[in-house]
């Protein structure tokens, strides 16, 4: 989510997409991927297929055929099931041939591994060619700890961490380097605010700083540790939310502040990591999705969850009154981490059906005479 002075790069993205559709017989993007220092290479024939109607709860837009990511390694931090944006991003990258490795929070690691082994996610793993997405390796990752020295005794003795070694960011980075040498894509798809249901006026210092640590500085730390082992021309991507710039009652505990920090850090890191490592750094401001994690916020007996209220509000007030699917964010993430976006960095890309552009609630009774039936 950008400041008012920042360009809306979604316009640029749309222009490129229109150009590709108008010239399907030529390699519109191929020359650009060979310019400069990027290590990515597009497939010889760049072809973009037009979006078809939504089927089976996903957006049928196959951009993976335009870019060959075979030989590229993508690390997605924050994958623990098949319902969230992290999984959708992993699947979009796997469709293009990328090797997928993930980082999973230790308390849910064993459940995730058992679910994968039992085939619980098989239906959500099918790629465009009919094969199944393979997660080549799962690393235990608790992104609130930078190094072993940061891990308190209570965590070391916690049974949910029993038998796990090397779950700090520093240790995971070293393990990835030992396993793969260099990697190409890092996705930060994690956040946590222990007091998220509390208004900011009732949030404790501890809760506020915990939200910032888990949701914002974790991205900085990931890039600090993984940047040195990323190939030049690679991409770092995070996920943010409109609460960083607009008031979203119910999204408390310092989480709105943490998302604002994340977006500001995206711009600074785009400069620093761009000059130091030749990397691109962007973030996606995603609309509401009823993921497992989001569904846990603000659940009261007999009432809708917080995320259900927000989804209903979005559909009632966004310019595009349609469902938002995880694959929509997956497609956008694929674009931003692919060579198609080789000159785009420091951007907050809204993927929210246009809700961020609205300054008035269309479903408010107080404006019925203004908006009419629109």
Of 61, 83, 126, the closest CA to residue 331 belongs to 61
Q: Are strands 348-351 and 52-55 parallel, antiparallel or unpaired?
A: unpaired
Any catalytic annotation for residue 161? no
From 85, 161, 208, 251, the catalytic residue: 251
330 to each of 85, 252, 336, how far by Cα in Å? 7, 26, 10
From 85, 139, 241, 277, the catalytic residue: 241
Collapse the DSSP code of 96 into the 3-class scheme (helix H, G, I; strand E, B; otherwise coil) and give the result.
coil
Cα–Cα distance between 82 and 99 in angstroms, integer? Answer: 17
DSSP state of 15: H
Asked whether the CA dihedral 223, 228, 231, 233 is positive or negative, the reply is: positive
51 to each of 48, 61, 145, 227, 261, how far by Cα in Å? 9, 5, 42, 34, 34
Any catalytic annotation for residue 350? no
Locus of tokens 């940061």:
150
Q: Where are the beta strands (DSSP E) in 162-227?
A: 183-188
Q: Two tokens at 73?
A: 């390694």
Could you give the residue numbers annotated as active site? Answer: 241, 251
């Amino acid at each position: 989510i950008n400041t008012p002075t920042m360009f809306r790069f979604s316009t640029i993205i749309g222009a490129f997409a229109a150009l590709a559709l108008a010239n399907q017989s030529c390699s519109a993007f191929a020359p650009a991927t060979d310019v400069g220092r990027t290590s990515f290479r597009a497939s010889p024939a760049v072809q973009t297929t037009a979006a078809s109607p939504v089927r089976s709860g996903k957006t049928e837009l196959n951009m993976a055929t335009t870019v060959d990511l075979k030989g590229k390694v993508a690390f997605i931090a924050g994958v623990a099931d098949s319902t969230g944006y992290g999984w959708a991003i992993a699947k979009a990258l796997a469709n293009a041939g990328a090797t997928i490795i993930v980082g999973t929070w230790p308390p849910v690691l064993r459940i995730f591994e058992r679910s994968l082994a039992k085939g619980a996610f098989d239906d959500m793993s099918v790629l465009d060619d009919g094969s199944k997405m393979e997660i080549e390796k799962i690393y235990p990752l608790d992104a609130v700890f930078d190094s072993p020295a940061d891990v308190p005794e209570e965590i070391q003795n916690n049974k949910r961490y029993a038998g796990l070694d090397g779950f700090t960011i520093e240790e995971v980075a070293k393990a990835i380097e030992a396993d793969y040498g260099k990697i190409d894509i890092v996705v930060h798809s994690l956040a946590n605010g222990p007091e998220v249901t509390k208004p900011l006026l009732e949030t404790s210092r501890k809760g506020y700083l915990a939200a910032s640590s888990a949701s914002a500085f974790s991205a900085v730390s990931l890039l600090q540790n993984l940047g040195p082992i990323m190939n030049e021309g690679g991409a770092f991507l995070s996920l943010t939310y409109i609460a960083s710039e607009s008031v979203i009652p119910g999204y408390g505990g310092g989480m709105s502040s943490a998302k604002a920090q994340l977006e500001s850090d995206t711009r600074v890191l785009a400069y620093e990591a761009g000059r130091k490592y030749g990397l691109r750094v962007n973030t996606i401001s995603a609309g509401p999705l009823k993921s497992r994690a989001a569904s846990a916020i603000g659940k009261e007996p007999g009432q809708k969850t917080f995320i259900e209220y927000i989804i209903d509000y979005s559909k009632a007030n966004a310019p595009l009154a349609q469902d938002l699917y995880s694959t929509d964010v997956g497609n956008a993430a694929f674009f931003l981490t692919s060579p198609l976006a080789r000159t785009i960095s420091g951007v907050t890309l809204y993927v929210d059906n246009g809700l961020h552009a609205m300054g008035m609630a269309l479903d408010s009774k107080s404006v019925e005479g203004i908006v009419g039936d629109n």
